Amino acid sequence: MSEFRVLVSCPLITDAIDSFADQFNSHGVEYDVVEVDQQLTEAELLEIIDGYDGVIAGDDEFTAEVLRSADQLSVIAKWGVGTDAIDIEAAEAEGIEVLNTPGAFVDEVADVVIGYAISLTRNLHIVDRDVRNGAWPCPQGVSLAGKTFGVVGVGNIGSAVARRAHAHGMDVVGFDVRPLPDELVNETGITAVTLPELFERSTVVSLNCALNEETRGLVGTELLDRLGSEGYLINTARGELVDQAALVDSLESGAVAGVGLDVFEEEPLPADSPLTDLDNVILGTHNAQNTREAVESVHRHTVDNLLSSLTSGSTES
């Protein structure tokens, strides 16, 4: 008889979870895979969470009510980095360990940020579309070299973005609640500035900060106006960092030049979103992290976190 029951609710690992069956069996773990489109809601979790010792979670809504009702739950192994859907204080109060995979997807997300920057400033998405439709457009773009790149949130991913921007000949400015890393400053010349100044000075701004109560709705009309009609915004972090209605208004009016969005306030993005009608927008599917190599690494790390916590309480932090 299995010693532990585990719920697998992260859709990004479900196709690969059976490859860990022997590892689960050797640790006395029985696992159930639930069919999930994007994430489980609070109501859905409340219906099924009872009786599980651990969860491999995606962006499921682990609210305080869910955590209080999970009598056996001892660990949530979060696939990936972001834990904003989990009430961390409630988890601590209930003695539930929350583990993620820090450092995951750093290079992968940073590569996509620069890809968005190049595509937007050179209109590559428009050229591709029009050539497929029989046209032969030759739009004039904007050079990156010599321009300023602003990084909001200079952690692991933000630092990788800064290095790539510097490699493209751009001046780099950054905003973070913590001092900028000395090594990064020496390597890239990145300068710490206030958030308004960052938007004022930058041609391209990349959001790479965590979502919390302080950063929710961080970017609205005021900052977008500071970015200006020649500025580009890229968000590969969390959709709720941006006031999406204000962003649409700024795009439609030409107050900003364009945006690259891998994340949205509501995911999947509704088919009738006004963002889908705009040429100066590149749309993603919250997929910036998704490379074969990175995903396989996070699979292993997440399973190891779960099993270590269940069987010994010893985890890699």
Residue 267 annotated as catalytic: yes
317 in any annotated domain: no
Measured CA to CA in angstroms, residue 103 lies from 108, 140, 155, 233 at distances of: 11, 37, 10, 24
Question: Which residue out of 238, 240, 299, 301 is catalytically annotated?
Answer: 238
3-class SS letters over the chain: CCCEEEEECCCCCCCCHHHHHHHHHHCCEEEEECCCCCCCCHHHHHHHCCCCCEEEECCCCECHHHHHHCCCCCEEEECCCCCCCECHHHHHHCCCEEECCCCCCHHHHHHHHHHHHHHHHHCHHHHHHHHHCCCCCCCCCCCCCCCEEEEECCCHHHHHHHHHHHHCCCEEEEECCCCCCHHHHHHHCCEECCHHHHHHHCCEEEECCCCCCCCCCCECHHHHHHHCCCCEEEECCCHHHECHHHHHHHHHHCCCCEEEECCCCCCCCCCCCHHHHCCCEEECCCCCCCCHHHHHHHHHHHHHHHHHHHHCCCCCC
Write the CATH number for 244.
Answer: 3.40.50.720
Annotated catalytic residue 216? no
182-234 confidence digits (pLDDT tens)? 999 999 999 999 999 999 999 999 999 999 999 999 999 999 999 999 999 99
168 is catalytic: no
Could you tell me if residue 278 is inside a domain?
A: yes
Q: What's the domain range around 296?
A: 4-104+292-311
- Check pLDDT > 50 for residue 314: no
- Report residue 309 as tokens: 């916590």
**pLDDT at 281 > cutoff 70:** yes
d(CA 290, CA 80): 11
Residues 197 and 99 in one domain: no
Residue 315 has pLDDT above 60, yes or no: no
156 and 19 co-located in one domain: no
pTM of the model: 0.89
Do residues 170 and 220 share a domain?
A: yes
* pLDDT recorded at residue 227: 98
- Do 21 and 87 belong together in one domain? yes
55 plus 19 within the same structural domain: yes
The rounded percent of the chain whose pLDDT value lies above 70 is: 98
Question: Which of these is catalytic: 27, 125, 226, 286?
Answer: 286
- Assess if residue 172 is contained within a domain: yes
Question: Between 73 and 82, whose confidence is greater?
Answer: 73
Number of domains present in the structure of the chain: 2
110 and 53 part of one domain? no
At residue 2, the pLDDT reads 80
124 shares a domain with 94: no
- 57, 77 contact by CB (below 8 A): yes
